[in-house]
Structure 1
Amino acid sequence: MTTLTDQAVTDYLLAHPDFFTQHHELLATLTVPGPHAGKAISLVERQNLTLREKNKQLELKLSQLLHFGRENDQTADKLHRWTHAIVRVQDNAHIPMVVAQELIKLFALPDVALRLWGVQENYAHLDCAAPVAVDTILFANALSTPYCGIVENNTDVEKLGVAQWLPGGENAPAPKSLALLALRQPDAAESFGLIVLASQDPERFADEMGTLYLQRIAELASAVLSRLID
């Protein structure tokens, strides 16, 4: 007498997908352990349970996709409104202030700061033209994409001193996370400025977050702020 192995039965059913079509009466008589407490249920019931579970998983994924889609739409709308606000500024001396204030307002950011170097002489009196350490400029030059990360125990970020640019300076509570956006002319290797986005939420600018919209902000800000540069 030949004893069939589990694999042999599996291989046979895979090779004959119409088996249960030809022997449909078996579907009602075969039983398998149920997913709860081991209660035996028919093969049809077990298949229905499996399909319902798959449907739940698909519905969850669809819900997540819709959620992310709505978030992206909202972010794109905010970016559009921010762009509209900064390109309408006619007095170049007001551009840095509008760039920062509109970011705070539209993206619900607690703190934003920016610095420019190599500015034209008639803009040298602006707060954004305050001296910047050489190491900070070199750091900005090396940024090909926006930097995001936590501040606590991050000695590299602390050495840059960019948190001191934020409103309140050394007397303000230290931010928990930062995004640093280098400003540069198109295709330029060297930067001419740096935008600092700060948050008390360590997860707001986590190092694994996507930076597509931050990169768009950096490019658009660079376009308008370049009017102040020699």
Structure 2
Amino acid sequence: MTEQISAAAIARFLQDNPGFFDEHAELFASLSVPHPHQARAISLGERQILILRDKLKTLEFQLATLGRQASFNESVSGKLSQWCTQMLAEPVASHIPGHIVTGLAQQFDLSEIVLRVWDLDLAPEGVAAPVDVAVREYATGLKRPYCGPASDSIVSAWFQKPTASMAAMALRHGKQQEPFGLLVLGSEDPERYEEDMATDFLQTISELSAAALSRLAMPSETQ
């Protein structure tokens, strides 16, 4: 009587008996399997070589991806350092808002940047022009950077050019809950700032901007 053996049983047998092909080397050499990409049969050894080549290609691709990401991160880190250096080297505190905007635009190739602050030691014009209560409430509600369609935001009217997507960051002194400003980035590309994108870098930009602007905090806020 011939008992049918399932493929799973054969696989388990070979796994449990790793020396099987050592003992039956002639069988290993004579077996053939379908080529994964062509209509012909090849030996088990050739098939194994093809599998290893595919794995090597995958690893090479992953390594190249990691290399590109590392290069990108290094570039971003350098630009961020240059931006911070400009702000730290500025002797006139009232010029810092300008450094924030122009520095970001130059270092990161951003076309639409809007900075609005309040309750700082600045003349009530330009970046310190009065904002309504709705804007302050919007900033208070931002616990992390907002990314998404510009049309959904109360501050979309600040942009001078047609803007499809935006990122908005509330500026706070340290761990204070109440913000003192908003930093908003805009883009004509609807996919530049997507709702599900990571916001760690934007949060860093927000914290560094707020720290630089802390030199302009009202005396009552620094006590």
Output the TM-score relative to the length of structure 1: 0.88
**1:108 Cα shift?**
0.4
What are the within-5 Å matches in structure 2 for residues 1-230 of structure 1? 1-120=2-121, 123-151=122-150, 154-155=151-152, 157=153, 160=154, 162-166=155-159, 168=160, 173-230=161-218
The one-letter code sitting in structure 1 at the alignment partner of 2:171 is L
Letter in 2 for 1:228: L
* Inter-partner Cα distance in structure 2 for 1:26 and 1:98: 75
Q: Distance in 2 between matches of 1:176 and 1:186?
A: 31
Q: Distance in 2 between matches of 1:196 and 1:62?
A: 35
Q: How many residues align?
A: 217
Compute the displacement of 1:133 (Å).
Answer: 2.7
> What is the percent sequence identity of the aligned residues?
39
Deviation at 1:100, TM superposition (A): 0.2
**What SS is found at the alignment partner of 1:196?**
strand
Preserved contact between residue 114 and residue 165 of structure 1 (Cα < 8 Å): no
Shift of residue 228 of structure 1? 2.1
Q: Which amino acid aligns with 1:84?
A: T
Conservation of the 8 A alpha-carbon contact between 2:35 and 2:42: yes
How far has the Cα of 1:38 moved from its partner? 3.0
Uncovered stretches (5+) of structure 2, i.e. residues with no partner: 219-223
Q: In the aligned structure 1, how far is the partner of 2:53 from the partner of 2:24? A: 24
Residue 144 of structure 1 and its aligned partner are, at CA, apart by 2.2
Q: Distance in 2 between the 1:110 and 1:184 partners?
A: 24
Q: Which runs of 4+ in 1 moved over 4 A?
A: none
Distance 1:36 1:99 in 2: 56
Q: Kindly indicate whether structure 1 or structure 2 has the higher relative contact order, using CA contacts under 8 Å at least 6 residues apart.
A: 1
> 1:135 deviation in Å?
2.3
Give the TM-score normalised by structure 2. Answer: 0.91
Partners of 1:119 and 1:108 lie apart in 2 by 28
Q: CA RMSD in A?
A: 1.5
Q: Distance in 1 between matches of 2:98 and 2:157?
A: 17
Instruction: Decide whether the 8 Å contact of 2:124 with 2:130 is kept in 1.
Output: no
For 1:4-24, what per-residue CA distance to the aligned partner results, in whole angstroms no more than 9, with x for missing partners?
A: 111110110111122223322
